[in-house]
Amino acid sequence: MPRLAAGALLFDRYRLQRRIGRGGTADVWQARDERLDRTVAIKALHPHLLPDAASRARFAAEARAAAGLSHPAIVPVYDVIEDTDPPAIVLAFVDGSTLAQRLRHDGAVPAPVAASIAADVAGALAHAHRAGVVHRDVKPGNVLIDRDGRVQLVDFGIARLLADAAARETVAGQVMGTLRSMSPEQLAGASVAGGRDLSALGVVL
């Protein structure tokens, strides 16, 4: 795989344009799909999170589950690339900002707007839970708002994989996750279920 840099062509298809995000788990790039002539987002996971074939297989399974979700408030997954270093997910490009960025820039939003955002996210979660997919990391940074005000939730399923990967590097008994949005059950070490997503959504609201 070529070095991640503007102008690089990934997988003989995606031309990187600019990096739009960087975190502890992945780099996110805006790219052009030269086969379908559309803008996409590519999330290239850091290699240390998927050190072996078993973890890559789990990544592929989680990503495919997320790709099976179809809802107006869920960012679509277009492609899953598992046999490269690093593995990557190709998503629809959302031209806008995260709720976290909006809160940092503008402060708390009016209550009716907050309720509308939460209702959209709740609809996305209900759809995913019916399909057996739990997000595990509902937070303002994973809620995208485009320039038309449309709300979409990103990173379905992948959060579970990354949490599992992080847990392998953590001492026994340490709880993983975004502390600000953890449910009481999660803090107590209980198994993950859809209720955790709803608890996290309440914290976001």
**Is residue 40 a contact partner of residue 93, using CB atoms and an 8 Å limit?**
yes
Q: Which of 27, 120, 137, 197 is catalytic?
A: 137
Tokens of 114: 């907050």
b/e per residue 112-146 (b: at least 16 CB within 10 A): eeeeebbebbbbbbebbbebebbbbbbbbbbbbbe
- Does residue 137 carry a catalytic annotation? yes
Contacts of 18 (CB under 8 A, 6+ apart): 6, 29, 30
Strand order in the sheet with 26-33: 9-10, 14-22, 26-33, 38-45, 88-92, 77-81
Question: Would you name the residues annotated as active-site residues?
Answer: 137
